[in-house]
Amino acid sequence: MSIFGAQTADVPKFDEAARDYDALLVMSFGGPEGMDDVIPFLENVTRGRNIPRARLEEVAHHYEHFGGVSPITAQNRALIAALETELVAHGIDLPIYFGNRNWHPFIADTICQMKADGVRRVLVFVTSAFSSYSGCRQYREDIIRASEEAGGAPAFDKLRMFYNHPGFIGPNVENLQKALAQFPPHHRPDVRVAFTAHSVPMGMANSSAYVRQLREACRLVAEQAGVAHYDLVYQSRSGAPHIPWLEPDILDHMEALSGQGFNNLVIHPIAFISDHMEVLYDLDTEAVDKAHELGMTMARAATVGTHPAFIAMIRELIVERMTANPARRAIGGYGPNHDICPLDCCLKGDSPRPSMGAGV
């Protein structure tokens, strides 16, 4: 099924045919690679949304702590290198291309390169585990737009969302357990866990399965890690104050926990697959400062990154789309996510898109 199509009433949610592919496209958000890139990058992110220049300059200051370099591009290239090794080890000949929404390499340039290389059919891996407009549908729109501009571009099939795949849940369990192990054994029963995800406008959240999938992933990870007390909270809100977004914010949540007498906390950025800028700044900088202010002991769980089980999961998702009637692994109460997106999947809702989206 082409990414240009969509699931309708008479089309199943899964593609059961065996298919041949010429390439894999890893698609992500993009990020600046020096201070000179920061404002142009942020202008790309916010184009058409009338974001005040002062807000761009405020966010640009976050990058000064890191020399203007977002780690997301290097992290995606590390993921691609690990996946290339994984595919070769399993006899899968599938070249990997890389394209971004907001910075080099831009998806439009990557599609032109694929067209020039004679690529005809492509699988797409989006670096987001959860379904939302910004994390799913917008990427499909990006590909459609770039393909129309290129003319005669390849056909694209998207890999399914993997929020409940054991290859995603397992590494998150392991990372949470490692973070908990930083506390002395006699303190661990008192440790609270805060799973974090990128906040989005309520209109967007209500038009997707984002919150439901997040809650399910948190439950699965917490249960397997033996954690009884945990919360799902949000970070990186960037919209106008009068527009309702998902809450509570992680910093507000930390103040609430401190007020209740809880002083040991693990923050687990479950909705992010790598330690990019919003993890490094919002959690490793702002949340760490808040913990010091409150006198809390805080540990931050790692993201899945290039964990071998996670890389193997991507390979498994690729094989699914190449196989007739494949087994689709998923745990929990919802089963595997669809291959073929419904027409009303992950709509933007009645709220504007996040002004600084996931993966900055």
**pLDDT confidence of residue 355:** 44
Listed residue (140, 129, 132, 187) closest to 25, CA to CA: 140
Q: Are strands 192-198 and 230-235 parallel, antiparallel or unpaired?
A: parallel
pLDDT in tens, 215-266: 999 999 999 999 999 999 999 987 777 889 999 999 999 999 999 999 999 9
Asked if pLDDT for residue 192 goes beyond 60, the answer is: yes
- DSSP letters, 177-236, are HHHHTTS-GGGGGG-EEEEEEE--BHHHHTTSSHHHHHHHHHHHHHHHHT--SEEEEEE-
Among the residue ranges 58-67, 78-87, 222-231, 236-245, the one predicted with the least confidence is 236-245
* Phi–psi pair at 229, nearest 5 degrees: -115, 110
CB neighbours of 345 closer than 8 A, spacing ≥ 6?
A: 6, 7, 131, 136, 137, 208, 338
Q: How many CB atoms lie within 10 A of CB 224?
A: 17
Whole-angstrom Cα distance, residue 220 to residue 185? 23
- DSSP letters, 226-287, are T--SEEEEEE---S-TTS-B---BHHHHHHHHHHTT--EEEEE-TT-SS--HHHHTIIIIII
40's tokens: 């142009």
Listed residue (303, 239, 243) closest to 267, CA to CA: 303
Asked if pLDDT for residue 116 goes beyond 70, the answer is: yes
Specify the CATH number for 23-162+307-322; select among 3.40.1160.10, 3.40.50.300, 3.30.420.40, 3.40.50.1400: 3.40.50.1400
285's tokens: 């900088």
For tokens 């506390």, name the residue. Answer: 183
Asked if pLDDT for residue 136 goes beyond 80, the answer is: yes
Strand partners, 123: 24, 157
pLDDT in tens, 286-302: 999 999 999 999 999 99
Residue 100, classed as helix, strand or coil, is: strand
**Residue pair 279/360 in contact by the 8 Å Cβ criterion:** no
**pLDDT confidence of residue 350:** 64
Whole-angstrom Cα distance, residue 47 to residue 179? 38
- What is the side-by-side order of every strand in the sheet holding 230-235? 230-235, 192-198, 264-268, 297-300
170's tokens: 């397992």
What band does 356 get if pLDDT is binned at 50, 70 and 90? Answer: very low
Third-level CATH fold of 166-300: Rossmann fold (3.40.50)
Largest CA distance in the chain: 63
Asked if pLDDT for residue 326 goes beyond 70, the answer is: yes
Domain residue spans of the chain: 23-162+307-322, 166-300
**Residue pair 103/32 in contact by the 8 Å Cβ criterion:** yes
Query: Residues 338-359, buried b or exposed e (16+ Cβ, 10 A)?
Result: bbbbeeebbebbebbbbbbbbb
Output DSSP code: residue 99.
Answer: E
Listed residue (202, 145, 165, 161) closest to 341, CA to CA: 161
* Phi–psi pair at 265, nearest 5 degrees: -140, 135
**Residue pair 214/135 in contact by the 8 Å Cβ criterion:** no
Among the residue ranges 2-16, 24-38, 118-132, the one predicted with the least confidence is 2-16
Mean pLDDT value across the chain:
92
